[in-house]
Amino acid sequence: MIKNVIFDIGNVLAKFRWQKLFKELGFEGEVFDHVADATVRGPWWPEYDRSRMSDEEIWQCCCALAPEYSAQIMAVFENVENICEEYDYARSWIYSLKAAGYRIYLLSNYGRTSFEKARQKFSFMDLADGQVISYEVEEIKPDRAIFEALEKKYGILPEESVFLDDTMKNVKAAKSYGYHAIFFENQALAAKKLEGMGVFALPVSEDDDRKFMKEALKQAKKAAALGEVPIGCVIVKDGDIIARGYNQRNKKHSTLGHGEISAIGKASKALIDWRLTDCTLYVTLEPCSMCAGAMIQARLGRAVIGAMNPKAGCAGSVMNMLQMDGFNHKVHVTRGILKEQCSDLLTGFFTSLREGRQAGQGQRSGGDPHKTGRPVR
Ligand SMILES: [Zn+2]
């Protein structure tokens, strides 16, 4: 079974648009060809990616190929961050593959300076679970060594991974190393080929996920207004919110007062069905064992989580109950949506609680620790 999707960057996630850059720099006719032959089409470009030589040494080697065009050659290196331009689909494609549970890695030939500049412009970097870029390991595709570096760094097994690249020799090499591999021509075709291997992206939108997490945050604020730990939740079906909930454990004097439990109950009532298979639950904090258990019992389709909860979370922190082998149901999980807002709300709540407690202690001697102690979910 395929668990990992490994992307080349150039001409897969970002267009390698060197011809456009050359035109932007005003190169035409003979100049265009001479500069191309000394740089992107020349023998030193792979060495630039391999980065065993310093940039200065490579620049000198390139200029030596066409000394009369040294100024133009250097202009290419000075503007190297514009040599690739991200495709519109890159982020949303990776996002929807991740939502389906695939781990995403980048394996690309890139020189140090060009990648360090380019990565600032790529919107998808934060979605990748990991990367090996040629300059980091001083090895380039299609050599076995760079694939091995990725395998070692992340414990990846080739047979559980599919590799996408626009260069046939890299694709052939990956297959010979035991990977599933796709020769990338365009995104639509590649998505189809992935589906042929059983790799289906989830049809989700990051904008929608943010929109509904904001609704969950509104619920969390209701909890805060009651002096409860601010955790909120909404459940969405076919683009509509069908249930809302927030933490009311103290108000209800009940362990069962978590927002997710309340929302799951309301959603089942609304649908007149205990099964929530086609629903997505948005929650501002990673669910506890009780709520994760309820999600499995409800056959929930998908959970979208804001902040993680290292001490009690059961969607990847303490354990990943939602996706555990052995249970009869697994929930698709997306993590980290509006995580700063979600965790800021909690931090702000506990800070004001502490400050209130300190002020209270100033007036009274001591206090009831059961009433003033930090709530722990
Ligand atoms: Zn809970």
Residue 373 has pLDDT above 60, yes or no: no
Tell me, in angstroms, the distance from the centre of ligand 1 to residue 283's CA. 10
Active-site residue (options: 47, 78, 136, 260):
260
Tell me, in angstroms, the distance from the centre of ligand 1 to residue 278's CA. 21
Tell me, in angstroms, the distance from the centre of ligand 1 to residue 345's CA. 17
Tell me, in angstroms, the distance from the centre of ligand 1 to residue 288's CA. 4
Residue 171 or residue 49, greater confidence: 171
Per-residue pLDDT, 366: 37
Tell me, in angstroms, the distance from the centre of ligand 1 to residue 216's CA. 14
- State the angle between helix axes of 55-65 and 70-78 in degrees (0 to 180), rounded to the nearest 10: 140
Task: Please compute the mean of the pLDDT values over residues 253-267 and round it to a whole number.
Answer: 97
Active site residue 260: yes
Nearest to 124 by CA among 91, 156, 164: 91
What is the spatial distance between Cα 89 and Cα 102, in angstroms, rounded to a whole number? 17
Tell me, in angstroms, the distance from the centre of ligand 1 to residue 231's CA. 9
Tell me, in angstroms, the distance from the centre of ligand 1 to residue 324's CA. 18
What is the spatial distance between Cα 134 and Cα 14, in angstroms, rounded to a whole number? 17
Tell me, in angstroms, the distance from the centre of ligand 1 to residue 204's CA. 25
CB-based contact 134:49 (threshold 8 Å): yes
Per-residue pLDDT, 376: 47
Considering only 4-8, 47-51, 252-256, which range has the smallest mean pLDDT? 47-51
What is the spatial distance between Cα 34 and Cα 181, in angstroms, rounded to a whole number? 35
Residue 3 has pLDDT above 80, yes or no: yes
Residue range 296-339, pLDDT digits in tens = 999 999 999 999 999 999 999 999 999 999 999 999 999 999 99
Per-residue pLDDT, 364: 42
**How many Cβ atoms are within 10 Å of 204's Cβ, its own excluded?**
19
Residue 250 has pLDDT above 80, yes or no: yes
Residue 149 has pLDDT above 50, yes or no: yes
Residue 183 has pLDDT above 70, yes or no: yes
Task: List C-alpha distances in Å: 243 to 138, 269, 300.
Answer: 53, 9, 13
Residue 367 has pLDDT above 60, yes or no: no
Q: What is the pTM of this model?
A: 0.89
Instruction: Quote the tokens at residue 268.
Output: 């089942």
Per-residue pLDDT, 377: 55
Task: List C-alpha distances in Å: 137 to 84, 108, 299, 323, 333.
Answer: 21, 11, 44, 33, 32
Residue 371 has pLDDT above 60, yes or no: no
Residue 361 has pLDDT above 90, yes or no: no
Task: Please compute the mean of the pLDDT values over residues 246-268 and round it to a whole number.
Answer: 97
Tell me, in angstroms, the distance from the centre of ligand 1 to residue 244's CA. 14
Per-residue pLDDT, 360: 73
